[in-house]
Amino acid sequence: MSLAQSPSKMRFLLYIGLIIAGCNAQQKQERRFPDDFIFGTATASYQIEGGWNADGKGENIWDRMTHTQPHVIKDYSNGDIAADSYNNYKRDVEMMRELGLDAYRFSLSWSRILPNGLSYKINEAGVTFYNNYINEMLKYNITPIVTLYHWDLPQKLQDLGGFINPLFPEWFEDYARVAYENFGDRVKHWITFNEPREICYEGYGWTTKAPLLNATGIGTYYCAKYLLLAHASAYKAYVNDFKATQNGECGITISVNWFGPLTDSADDEYAAELKRQAEWGLYANPIFSEDGSFPKELSEVVAKKSLEQGYKKSRMPELSDEEKKYIRGSSDFFGVNHYTGAYVSAEDNKGNYITPSLLADIDVGSYVPPEWLSSASTWLKLSPNSLYNSLTHLHNKYRNVKFYITENGWSTTPDSGLIDDDRVLYYRTALNTLLDAMEAGVDVKGYMAWSLMDNFEWMEGYKERFGLYHVNFEDPARTRTPRKSAFIYKQILKTRVIDPNYEPATLTMWIDEGH
CA distance 87 to 207: 32
CA distances to 137, 146, 446, 510 from 94, rounded to whole Å, are: 9, 19, 21, 12
Q: In what helix (H) or strand (E) does residue 178 lie, and over which residues does it extend? A: helix 168-183
Distance in angstroms (rounded) separating the CA atoms of residues 438 and 421:
26
Q: Where are the beta strands (DSSP E) in 24-102?
A: 38-42
Under a CB-based contact definition with an 8 Å cutoff, are residues 106 and 149 in contact?
no
Count the neighbouring beta carbons within 10 Å of the beta carbon of residue 476: 9
Element (H, E) at 189: strand 189-194
Catalytic one among 195, 198, 202, 279? 195
Q: How far is CA 263 from CA 269, 344, 366, 447, in A?
A: 8, 8, 12, 32
Is 474 noted as a catalytic residue in this protein?
A: no
Closest CA to 270 of 298, 243, 312: 298
Q: What are phi and psi of 461, to 5 degrees?
A: 60, -125
Of the candidates 104, 389, 72, which has an alpha carbon nearest to the alpha carbon of residue 214? 72
Q: How many CA atoms lie within 13 A of 204 on its CB side?
A: 26
CA–CA separation, 515 vs 298, rounded Å? Answer: 53
The H or E element containing residue 300 is helix 296-308
Check if 407 is active-site.
yes
Q: 410 near 427, Cβ under 8 Å?
A: yes
> Residue 153, SS3?
coil
The enclosing H or E element of 470 equals strand 469-471
3-state helix, strand, coil in the chain (%, to 5): 45, 15, 40
> Active-site residue among 249, 407, 457, 464?
407
CA distances from 408 to 38, 120, 175, 255, 337 (A): 14, 37, 28, 10, 6
Catalytic residue numbers read: 195, 407
